[in-house]
Amino acid sequence: MAKNKTLDTLIVGAGFAGMYMLHKLRKQGLEVLVLDEASGVGGTWYWNRYPGARCDVESVEYSYSFSEELQQEWKWSDRFSTQPEILDYANHVADRFSLRDWIKFNSRVESMVYSTRDNLWITTTNSGEIYKSHYCVMATGTLSSVNKPRFRGIDDFKGDWYVTGKWPHDPVDFKGKKVGIIGTGSSAVQTIPIIAPQVDSLTVFQRTANYSIPARNYSLTLEEIEKAKANYSEIRAKARDNRAGIASMEVGPYSALDVSDSDRDREFKRRWKEGGTNFLAAFNDIGTNAESNEKAADFVRARINEVVRETKVADLLSPTNTIGCKRLCADTDYYETYNRDNVLLVDVNKTPIERIVDEGIKTSDNVYEFDIIIFAIGFDAMTGALLSIDIKGRNELRLKEKWSEGPRTFLGLCSEGFPNMFMITGPGSPSVLSNMMTSIEQHVEWVSDCVSYMSSHGKNAIEAKLDSENQWMDHVEEVAADTLRYSCNSWYVGANIPGKKRIFLPYAGGFPKYTERCNEVAAKGYEGFTIA
Ligand code: N01
């Protein structure tokens, strides 16, 4: 790829979004290049190699639908895929569609500047390479910028420390080690049961107890695989019709308050037995009605009490907040792990972490000695990766400045002041509230249609209008305000990152309604955008 040649499109990120975008635009005959900081494809699945990493959307659904041949030839092993298998799939896709020639790895994008005079984006990488492109697509991921550990004294620690979202490629030897882990979100909930049997001791530092539902993972039988392959078109259509883009999510038709206690309990038990995060869809108002939510929360707390032997530990593990406020976890033996003699739970609300010391972690009442510390403390979600790049749009406007009071987008796809720049699953789109694969495909197809429209109409610049952006952001807020998630603390509202402006980041109106709006905008000649 000649560096001084002007590209049609530069894509940032070689995860599932970047790869499909590349494939689509190459098929349209465009000159495209993808840049990625990693040395391979896979995005989030390239980086999150921590022990036990696994997807919580079922394998057959967490996959591309755009190629029937791909659907038919790939064979998933488990109901919920492991990270290595998803990464194999990403690599298979890259090879099968000959994508690698158009991806430049080990290239971190540092800045992107829009030249009004030339109507071009100028992108500079960490090695000083410069690319010019007509369009750019930010396929930078939503949970890709890790929440960096900022604990005082971290450099004093004599042992090894790891961040789940930036896990090393070489296996970590836990055998006989004293290990501490900070955090009890999805990443920790998966890591803890896997490493507990390997280590000498595991100490979990919990700030907020999290709800977790057994994943009930199993190996897929040949019959199940064949059935999925024979029904893919139906599965995909059903997914696109579901609020979360998940075909297997059966949304209960009733309020949790409109059924008898025994019927409610039976439905919760059925969902618990079935496993997975579809538990939250047992009734249609768990996410919107506090009383219904409490019924679901009570059910899970009762299960925790049944599983965990020591009452004190069970109480500490029992969440008191809204279920689903923080993203629901799916686990294999998470609560059971606390019955092990070598696992200790520390409540950092009662005894806060003061600092890291050379031998381990110092809380207000103790020094815990460790060989290894794991930070499972999450991500600067949805905006972190985008804002880590110095993006300057029209009139030198910096995205960071424009978004200082929270992200502003039209449909989560574009931001006023940044012509010809698209975001895949950006803030203000269903994104993390949906199956990412469903949302990625919808966005990529919308963007490629838009680029094709521009070319067939002899147009060169497209930019969201401020009015349409403002109206969309009001709508995003309005639909979010109807949900219980709106008012509680989680990464959905940026509450996990000190100083981050509190704003509900994804679009909570559901995938079908959102898609309808995107299609309507396109059908009306990209209504709400200025096209020149
Ligand atoms: O991160 P999190 P994650 N001192 O933000 C704690 C997706 N994902 O990487 O809740 C002490 O959920 C923090 O405590 P609190 C999924 O969407 C999916 O686990 O802020 N503790 C919390 O317990 C998920 O939601 C899969 O009080 C501190 C934890 O660290 C998202 O990624 C697997 C702390 C962070 O939890 C993020 O999950 C993994 C501090 N200073 C991830 N700072 C699957 O598909 C933070 N914490 C299954």
- Give the model confidence (pLDDT) of 345-371 as tens digits: 999 999 999 999 999 999 999 999 999
Does 300 map to a domain? no
Q: Is residue 3 predicted with pLDDT exceeding 70? A: no
Does 518 map to a domain? yes
Q: How many percent of the chain have pLDDT more than 70?
A: 99
How far is it, in rounded angstroms, from Cα 209 to Cα 312? 13
Of 167, 514, 443, 189, nearest to 327 (Cα)? 189
Mutation probe of ligand 1 site: the residue of 213, 328, 377 with most atoms within 8 A of C-beta = 377
Q: Which two tokens stand for residue 183?
A: 């955090």
Domain with 452 in it: 6-145+381-531
Here the CATH number for the domain that contains residue 87 is 3.50.50.60
Q: Is the CB of 427 under 6 A from ligand 1?
A: no
How far is it, in rounded angstroms, from Cα 273 to Cα 478? 35
176: region left, alpha or beta (phi > 0 left; psi from -120 to 50 alpha): left
How far apart are the CA of 218 and the centre of ligand 1, in A?
25
Q: Is residue 2 predicted with pLDDT exceeding 50? A: no
Of 398, 465, 452, 407, nearest to 431 (Cα)? 407
Band the pLDDT of 4: cuts 50, 70, 90.
Answer: low
Element of type H or E holding 444: helix 436-456
User: Beta strands of 190-294 (E only): which ranges?
Assistant: 201-206, 212-214
How far is it, in rounded angstroms, from Cα 131 to Cα 118? 14
Residues in the chain: 532
Q: Is residue 438 predicted with pLDDT exceeding 70? A: yes
Q: Which atom of ligand 1 lies at the shortest distance from residue 348's CA?
A: 11
Nearest CA to ligand 1 atom 18: 186
Write the single-letter amino acid at 104: K
**Residue 317: predicted pLDDT:** 98
Of 443, 509, 524, 498, nearest to 472 (Cα)? 509
For residue 146, what is the DSSP state? B
pTM (2 d.p.): 0.97
How far is it, in rounded angstroms, from Cα 302 to Cα 265? 11
Q: Which atom of ligand 1 lies at the shortest distance from residue 149's CA?
A: 41
Q: Which two tokens stand for residue 424?
A: 């895949």
Q: Is residue 529 predicted with pLDDT exceeding 70? A: yes
User: Beta strands of 183-237 (E only): which ranges?
Assistant: 201-206, 212-214
How far is it, in rounded angstroms, from Cα 375 to Cα 323? 24
In order of 308, 312, 376, 397, the CA distances from 315 in angstroms are 9, 5, 22, 50
Q: Is residue 133 predicted with pLDDT exceeding 50? A: yes
Mutation probe of ligand 1 site: the residue of 496, 497, 500 with most atoms within 8 A of C-beta = 496
Mean pLDDT of the chain: 97
Give the pLDDT mean for 267-272. 98
Q: Which two tokens stand for residue 46?
A: 């390239």
Q: Is the CB of 52 under 6 A from ligand 1?
A: no
Question: What is the CB-side half-sphere exposure of residue 65 using CA atoms within 13 A?
Answer: 27
Q: What is the pLDDT of residues 478-497, one digit of tens each?
A: 999 999 999 999 999 999 99
Nearest CA to ligand 1 atom 7: 186
Write the single-letter amino acid at 397: L
Q: Is the CB of 490 under 6 A from ligand 1?
A: no
Nearest CA to ligand 1 atom 9: 378
**Residue 5: predicted pLDDT:** 80
Q: What is the pLDDT of residues 45-99, one digit of tens each?
A: 999 999 999 999 999 999 999 999 999 999 999 999 999 999 999 999 999 999 9
Q: Is the CB of 208 under 6 A from ligand 1?
A: yes
Q: Is the CB of 305 under 6 A from ligand 1?
A: no
How far is it, in rounded angstroms, from Cα 434 to Cα 57? 10
Nearest CA to ligand 1 atom 16: 186
**Residue 131: predicted pLDDT:** 97
Of 75, 77, 78, 86, nearest to 48 (Cα)? 86
Q: Is residue 1 predicted with pLDDT exceeding 90? A: no
Of 279, 258, 257, nearest to 267 (Cα)? 279
Chain CA centroid to CA 487, Å: 20
How far is it, in rounded angstroms, from Cα 35 to Cα 13? 6
CA angle 495, 498, 499 (to 5 degrees): 95
Chain CA centroid to CA 528, Å: 28
**Residue 297: predicted pLDDT:** 98
Q: What are phi and psi of 114, to 5 degrees?
A: -90, 125
**Residue 484: predicted pLDDT:** 97
How far is it, in rounded angstroms, from Cα 22 to Cα 515? 21
Does 493 map to a domain? yes
Q: What is the pLDDT of residues 369-384, one digit of tens each?
A: 999 999 999 999 999 9
CA angle 489, 380, 435 (to 5 degrees): 80
Q: What is the pLDDT of residues 138-149, one digit of tens each?
A: 999 999 999 999
How far is it, in rounded angstroms, from Cα 110 to Cα 190? 33
Does 349 map to a domain? no
**Domains held by the chain: number:** 1
Q: What is the pLDDT of residues 301-338, one digit of tens each?
A: 999 999 999 999 999 999 999 999 999 999 999 999 99
